[in-house]
């Protein structure tokens, strides 16, 4: 009925409960915003797309790991990765990511926990805003430090929910806000590299920027700096892979030592925010939320779809506002980019493996120290570059040309490394 | 879309009824369709926006380069004969009402091939003089029918936003 | 009735002169179509864009070469190219392309003529339709064979104009048509590889396809096949660089022998049509003419701009109907793609040079025959791949990700070649 629908559109938000800056439980927020909450709960769904999404793999729960569904193992599907990361926890267990609903459980039960992780990990895997506030007695930065310093298994006792409403929203106005200290610092460091001093993201960011920044709190490359294992985003020189690599070079940081070759290694993790920032959509002002939380119609109302997922499961709404071609064609265009990308990733991975083999052989046969050092350095760089786009979850879509460029440089490094041993 | 095609095959009867109802509504809008003046444009087009689904298009149309020159039906209904105009209105009236009532349509609307063809011709209805030189064909197309020839030079391909940038 | 109207409107073209299928002179056509002719004449303009267009370099005319303006030398600007092509005429003289008005003169006076070129060259550098018809006594295919068989300097006596109206238009209806035998054969071979038998481009192509095919007559990679030096487009397996390379491999074709290394080489020339075919614009149905001959309004008429040139000199019309962002932003987006591309081209060129150096050193120091063969084969492939995108004139714009992918593979080949010598 047309009249009813129109009425519905005008109805303002019905305040059922009071929500304040300490209300962590999303179910409570959900009473005021049932539509968003309903969608939020749907992130438990597991649906595979050609190159993304996730597939539910049944497993028998054990005492140690009670999960009855997990996502596919990436190290089994891409065997090169095990050797890429030899000696690092990632070579033991690395799976497809899946919906936000799983973030806490998946982190608790990954076999990567066996090596003993710091509380820092929790920054991106739970609703930490209230816990940080509590631990820091009102100061989230102080709370952040305290959480970091705890061993993971202790830290996790302080959190309850996966990322929740309060981590992205200011409860009074529902405005977006940044709650993650590591992002506040990272983005300020980046802005400084661009000549902007004293950048305060919650004061200075535009609304459209916020629609990506809230995601950039977690979907970024990170590392644990110094002995206190401080969570840091390597953005002091920019948001490109080159800037990140250069950042690590200048402090000589390493994540681990390669078990086969002895090279000082770097691990790249999910730089969606950074790769997106180099692509045409970012340049055109298209935010993460535009595609991953597309507006949807509920009755006569337009809301942001809080079922955050692959846009390819929701093409009409996610892409259709801007692209008038049919849904099938849009998927085909995307997969065209992704297929070309994945073919190149394979070439780059094979190149690193060749380098590892050659270093092993050179070790066995004896080789001059400086040649070995040079080859290890190339391995470090080649691995970081290919990992950067492999760990990125859009299969190249977020910035096709840039991703191919990064792979080209990775290949160059691997092959130069092989040559370095022989010169 | 898929649903519409299924319907098209299965429920010819509904369509016949719809043509009857649609024609009554259609005659009204079409007869006035050749009157001039911005006030007419507004009210005529306003009737499309009776459905809130069309409101966005209406708002965008008001702001568009054509808001002052062309009403919805100048672009979205055929100009070649009254019969096909009635058919079009009945057809669209039926399917849009059905979709609206069931709520079974996609977030972002897509023009159907049937309606795209109508709109393509509508451009030429007003701009034929301007574009006659560019409406030539490739050699292989010289023997094909007039309608196909027109579609081979699609105006909408470049000017998809002239009516409304939604 | 719309069709009637069209006819009616059409008669407003004032037929001043009769044009038939033997009217080669564009000035005659220009009397019926003065607007198109005026623009056609403007292809003498030389204007530089950041990565394209052309710059007029004054020179003192000599008896041998009467040109007082030439374009910039590319082999001086990109010194790697001389060594890439050592022993081939391209290493002597290779310049920026410029407008169609110059195509005949530039071909006559290039120093590449000094090695003695076949008449085949003329296929793409002059209005050959009427000359072919005359030589073939009505049959352009027979005329094509005859023209090819002549030495260039004799062949050129048969032609008068740069590409002219009759080469793209059927005079009766002004419909587009294909007049080049090499394209007819090439596109039929390509279609066959896609499962389409007996493709006749002038019968089967849609008008929108024709708006690219007329350019694809010349803006393509080509070679001279067999002893009769038959002009051929290597499309039997597809339009990608891989398909072209594979085509050459299966016949063992070579353009020349590398003067430094002795490798059997391939030269890639201006594959604009092929690279475009791999890009998003082609996928979206955007034709060469859409960007390079954008519509313009002149008085009461809307016509195709026959001043064919860089679209970046005409952004508003060339891009603006589809992309509503401002002109400056469109140029910036394009240059962003081009800058990233050119940086990668340099890396790929340097890699080939490293390989050439290594082969030279290995020659000097002695190396096993099979290693040398392998390295030369890598040089052949690496050079063809990097040349493919370097010779392509859009600096990567026509298909950014694909161009980067090709460069990545080129780098891989160069570095593998170096390794091959040392294994
Ligand atoms: Ca990292
Ligand atoms: Ca060639």
Q: Is the pLDDT of residue C173 over 80?
A: yes
pLDDT, chain C, mean: 94
Residue with tokens 């609703």: A127
Which ligand is in closest contact with the Cα of C253? 2
Q: What angle do CA A87, A90, A95 make, to 5 degrees?
A: 155
Residue with tokens 């048969």: C158
Task: Quote the tokens at residue A184.
Answer: 């506040």
* Residues in C touching A407 (Cβ below 8 Å): 408
Ligand 2 centre and the CA of C147: distance in Å? Answer: 20
pLDDT confidence band for C6 (50 / 70 / 90): very low
Q: Is the pLDDT of residue B27 over 50?
A: no
Contact in structure between B54 and A7 (CB atoms under 8 Å): no
Mutation for testing the B interface, residue in A3, A290, A297 having most B CBs under 10 Å: A297
Contact in structure between A337 and C401 (CB atoms under 8 Å): yes
* DSSP notation for C103-133: HHHHHHHSGGGGG--BGGGGGGTS--HHHHH
- Long-range CB contacts for residues A104-109, cutoff 8 Å, separation at least 24: A104/A156, A104/A159, A104/A161, A104/A162, A105/A67, A106/A67, A106/A70, A108/A156, A109/A64, A109/A65, A109/A66, A109/A67
Q: Mean per-residue pLDDT for B62-66?
A: 92
Question: What pLDDT score was predicted for residue B138?
Answer: 66
User: Cα separations (Å) of C224 from A231, A273, C199?
Assistant: 61, 49, 23
Out of C325, C337, C418, name the one closest to residue A419 (CB): C418
Ligand 2 centre and the CA of C244: distance in Å? Answer: 9
Out of C205, C297, C303, name the one closest to residue B138 (CB): C205
Yes or no, beta carbons of B121 and C207 under 8 Å apart: no
Contacts of A301 (CB under 8 A, 6+ apart): A8, A9, A35
Contacts of B140 (CB under 8 A, 6+ apart): C201, C202, C203, C204, C205, C206, C210
Tens of pLDDT, residues A109-165: 999 999 999 999 999 999 999 999 999 999 999 999 999 999 999 999 999 999 999
- Please report the number of interchain residue pairs, chain A to chain C, with beta-carbon separation below 8 angstroms: 76
Yes or no, beta carbons of B136 and C173 under 8 Å apart: yes
Looking at CA atoms only, how far is residue A311 from chain B in angstroms?
A: 14
* Residues in B touching A9 (Cβ below 8 Å): 52
Q: Is the pLDDT of residue C11 over 60?
A: no
User: Cα separations (Å) of B122 from B72, B153, C4, C347?
Assistant: 11, 13, 15, 53
Contacts of A71 (CB under 8 A, 6+ apart): A46, A54, A55, A56, A57, A95, A96, A97, A98
Mutation for testing the C interface, residue in A329, A332, A401, A418 having most C CBs under 10 Å: A401
Q: Mean per-residue pLDDT for A51-72?
A: 96
Q: Is the pLDDT of residue C423 over 80?
A: no
Looking at CA atoms only, how far is residue B79 from chain C in angstroms?
A: 9
Task: Quote the tokens at residue B29.
Answer: 């809008």
Q: Is the pLDDT of residue B52 over 90?
A: no
Tens of pLDDT, residues C247-303: 999 999 999 999 999 999 999 999 999 999 999 999 999 999 999 999 999 988 899
Ligand 1 centre and the CA of A119: distance in Å? Answer: 16
Residue A49: DSSP 8-state = -
Question: What pLDDT score was predicted for residue B143?
Answer: 57
pLDDT confidence band for B87 (50 / 70 / 90): confident
* Residues in A touching C396 (Cβ below 8 Å): 401
* Residues in B touching C301 (Cβ below 8 Å): 130, 133
More confident residue, B107 or B73: B73
* Residues in B touching C29 (Cβ below 8 Å): none
Contact in structure between C176 and C210 (CB atoms under 8 Å): yes
Yes or no, beta carbons of B146 and C175 under 8 Å apart: no
pLDDT confidence band for B39 (50 / 70 / 90): low
Mutation for testing the A interface, residue in B107, B109, B159, B160 having most A CBs under 10 Å: B107
* Residues in A touching B50 (Cβ below 8 Å): 2
* Residues in C touching A401 (Cβ below 8 Å): 337, 340-341, 396, 400-401, 403-404
Contact in structure between A122 and A161 (CB atoms under 8 Å): no
Q: Mean per-residue pLDDT for A273-291?
A: 98
Chain centre to alpha carbon of residue C312: 18
Any B CB within 8 A of C368 CB? no
Task: Quote the tokens at residue C135.
Answer: 């030589």
Q: Mean per-residue pLDDT for C172-193?
A: 96
pLDDT confidence band for B141 (50 / 70 / 90): low
Q: Kindly state the helix (H) or strand (E) to which residue C224 belongs, with its residue range.
A: strand C223-225
Contact in structure between C314 and C238 (CB atoms under 8 Å): no
Out of A340, A351, A402, name the one closest to residue C402 (CB): A340
Chain centre to alpha carbon of residue C150: 23
The neighbours of chain C, by the rule of 3 or more Cβ pairs under 8 Å, are A, B
Distance CA A275, CA A243 (A): 12
Contact in structure between A345 and C409 (CB atoms under 8 Å): no
What counts of helices (H) and strands (E) characterise chain B? 9, 0
Among chain A residues, CA nearest to C407? A408
| Residue percentage of chain C with pLDDT more than 90 | 93
Which residues of B touch chain C, with CB atoms under 8 Å apart? Answer: 79-80, 121, 124-125, 128-142, 146-147, 149-150, 152-154, 157-159, 161, 165
Tens of pLDDT, residues C333-353: 999 999 999 999 999 999 999
* Residues in A touching B160 (Cβ below 8 Å): 324
Among chain B residues, CA nearest to A323? B108
Q: 3-state DSSP call for residue A48?
A: strand
Q: Kindly state the helix (H) or strand (E) to which residue B123 belongs, with its residue range.
A: helix B113-131
User: Nearest CA to C184 among C213, C221, C224, C164?
Assistant: C213
pTM: 0.94
Main-chain dihedrals φ then ψ at residue C319, nearest 5 degrees: -120, -25
Question: What pLDDT score was predicted for residue B145?
Answer: 53
Comparing B103-117, C102-116, C215-229, C395-409, the range with the smallest average pLDDT is B103-117
Distance CA B55, CA C418 (A): 65
Residue with tokens 């929790």: A122
Residue with tokens 């559109």: A9
Burial class (CB in 10 A: 0-12, 13-18, 19+), C1: exposed
Contacts of B147 (CB under 8 A, 6+ apart): B117, C3
Contact in structure between A58 and A69 (CB atoms under 8 Å): yes
Out of A340, A407, A412, name the one closest to residue C415 (CB): A412
* Residues in A touching C341 (Cβ below 8 Å): 401
Contact in structure between A317 and A47 (CB atoms under 8 Å): no
Per-position b or e across A220-235, b if 16+ CB within 10 A of its CB: bbbbbeeeebbbbbbb
Question: What pLDDT score was predicted for residue C7?
Answer: 44
User: Nearest CA to B161 among C331, A322, C2, A291?
Assistant: A322
User: Nearest CA to B121 among B65, B56, B77, B69?
Assistant: B77
* Residues in C touching A343 (Cβ below 8 Å): 405
| Sign of the alpha-carbon dihedral angle for C278, C283, C289, C293 | negative
pLDDT, chain A, mean: 95
Interface of C with B in 173-202 (CB under 8 A): 173-177, 201-202
Which residues of C touch chain A, with CB atoms under 8 Å apart? Answer: 280, 283-284, 325, 333, 336-337, 340-341, 343-344, 347-348, 351, 396, 400-405, 407-409, 411-412, 414-416, 418-419, 422
The environment of the single-atom ion ligand 2, i.e. residues with CB closer than 5 A, is: C 223, 267, 269
Q: Is the pLDDT of residue B5 over 60?
A: no
pLDDT confidence band for A301 (50 / 70 / 90): confident
Distance CA C272, CA C393 (A): 7
Mutation for testing the A interface, residue in C346, C362, C405, C418 having most A CBs under 10 Å: C405
Residue C397: DSSP 8-state = G
Yes or no, beta carbons of C303 and B133 under 8 Å apart: yes
Mutation for testing the C interface, residue in B139, B145, B146, B150 having most C CBs under 10 Å: B139
Yes or no, beta carbons of B128 and C170 under 8 Å apart: no
Q: Mean per-residue pLDDT for C356-378?
A: 96
Ligand 2 centre and the CA of C266: distance in Å? Answer: 6
Question: What pLDDT score was predicted for residue B104?
Answer: 82
Q: Mean per-residue pLDDT for C350-360?
A: 98
Tens of pLDDT, residues A72-90: 999 999 999 999 999 999 9
Q: Mean per-residue pLDDT for A289-314?
A: 94
Yes or no, beta carbons of C207 and B158 under 8 Å apart: no
Tens of pLDDT, residues A1-22: 344 444 444 455 678 899 999 9
Question: What pLDDT score was predicted for residue C348?
Answer: 98
Ligand 1 centre and the CA of A268: distance in Å? Answer: 4
Among chain C residues, CA nearest to B124? C2
* DSSP notation for C5-60: HHHHHHTTS---S---TT---HHHHHHH-HHHHHHHHGGG---B-SSSB---EE--
Distance CA C128, CA C147 (A): 9
Q: 3-state DSSP call for residue C152?
A: helix
Any B CB within 8 A of A6 CB? yes
Contact in structure between C235 and C242 (CB atoms under 8 Å): no
CA atoms within 13 A on the CB side of A386: 29
Residue with tokens 């290694």: A265
Tens of pLDDT, residues A167-218: 999 999 999 999 999 999 999 999 999 999 999 999 999 999 999 999 999 9
Tens of pLDDT, residues C39-88: 999 999 999 999 999 999 999 999 999 999 999 999 999 999 999 999 99
Supply the Cα-derived Rg of chain C in whole angstroms. Answer: 22
Contact in structure between C85 and C91 (CB atoms under 8 Å): yes
User: Cα separations (Å) of C49 from A119, A157, A247, C46?
Assistant: 54, 61, 35, 10
* Residues in A touching B165 (Cβ below 8 Å): none
Q: Kindly state the helix (H) or strand (E) to which residue A223 belongs, with its residue range.
A: strand A223-225
Q: Which residues pair with C162 in a beta bridge?
A: none
Q: Is the pLDDT of residue B136 over 90?
A: no
Distance CA B114, CA C93 (A): 56
């Amino acid at each position: 009925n047309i009249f009813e629908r129109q009425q519905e559109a005008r109805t303002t938000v019905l305040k059922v409960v009071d929500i304040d800056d300490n209300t962590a439980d999303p179910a409570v927020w959900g009473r005021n915003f049932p539509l968003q909450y309903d969608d939020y709960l749907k992130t438990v769904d597991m649906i595979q797309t050609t190159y993304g999404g996730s597939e539910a793999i049944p497993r028998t729960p054990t005492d140690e790991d009670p999960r009855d569904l997990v996502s596919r193992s990436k190290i089994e599907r891409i065997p090169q990765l095990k050797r890429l990361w030899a000696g690092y926890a990632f070579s033991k267990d690395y799976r497809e990511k899946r919906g936000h609903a799983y973030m806490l459980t998946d982190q608790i039960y990954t076999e990567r926990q066996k090596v003993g992780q710091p509380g820092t990990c929790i920054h991106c895997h739970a609703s930490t805003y209230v816990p940080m506030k509590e631990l820091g007695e009102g100061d989230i930065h102080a709370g952040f430090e305290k959480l970091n310093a705890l061993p993971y298994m202790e830290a996790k006792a302080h959190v309850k929910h996966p990322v929740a409403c309060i981590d992205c929203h200011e409860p009074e106005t529902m405005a977006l806000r940044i709650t993650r200290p590591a992002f506040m610092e990272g983005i300020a460091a980046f802005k400084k590299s661009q000549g902007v001093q004293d950048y305060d993201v919650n004061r200075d960011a535009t609304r459209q920027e916020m629609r990506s920044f809230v995601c950039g709190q977690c979907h970024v490359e990170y590392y644990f700096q110094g002995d206190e294992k401080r969570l840091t985003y390597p953005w002091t020189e920019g948001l490109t892979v080159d800037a990140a690599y250069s950042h690590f070079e200048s402090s000589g940081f390493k994540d681990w030592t390669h078990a086969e070759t002895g090279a000082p290694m770097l691990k790249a993790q999910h730089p969606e925010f950074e790769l997106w920032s180099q692509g045409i959509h970012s340049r055109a002002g298209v935010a993460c939320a535009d595609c991953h939380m597309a507006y949807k119609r509920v009755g006569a109302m337009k809301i942001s779809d809080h079922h955050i997922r692959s846009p390819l499961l929701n093409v009409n709404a996610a892409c259709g506002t801007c692209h008038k071609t049919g849904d099938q064609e849009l998927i085909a265009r995307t997969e065209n980019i992704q297929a070309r990308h994945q073919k190149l990733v394979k070439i780059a991975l094979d190149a690193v493996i060749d380098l590892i083999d050659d270093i092993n052989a050179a070790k066995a046969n004896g080789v001059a120290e400086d040649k070995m050092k040079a080859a290890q350095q190339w391995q470090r760089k080649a691995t970081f570059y290919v990992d950067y786009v492999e760990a990125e979850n859009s299969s190249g879509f977020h910035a096709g040309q840039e991703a191919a460029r990064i792979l080209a440089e990775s290949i160059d490094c691997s092959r130069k490394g092989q040559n370095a041993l022989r010169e | 879309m898929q649903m519409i095609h299924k319907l098209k095959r299965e429920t010819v009867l509904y369509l016949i009824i719809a043509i009857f109802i649609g024609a009554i509504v259609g005659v009204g809008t079409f007869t006035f369709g050749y009157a001039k003046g911005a006030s007419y444009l507004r009210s005529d087009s306003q009737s499309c926006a009776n459905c809130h689904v069309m409101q966005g298009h209406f708002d965008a149309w008001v702001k568009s380069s054509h808001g002052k020159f062309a009403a919805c039906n100048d672009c979205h209904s055929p100009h070649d004969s009254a019969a096909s105009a009635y058919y079009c209105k009945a057809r669209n009236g039926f399917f849009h009402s059905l979709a609206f009532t069931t709520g079974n349509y996609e977030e972002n609307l897509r023009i159907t091939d049937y309606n795209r063809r109508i709109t393509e011709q509508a451009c030429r209805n007003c701009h034929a003089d301007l574009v006659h030189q560019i409406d030539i064909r490739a050699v292989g197309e010289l023997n094909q029918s007039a309608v196909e020839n027109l579609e081979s030079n699609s105006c909408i391909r470049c000017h998809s936003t002239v009516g409304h940038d939604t």
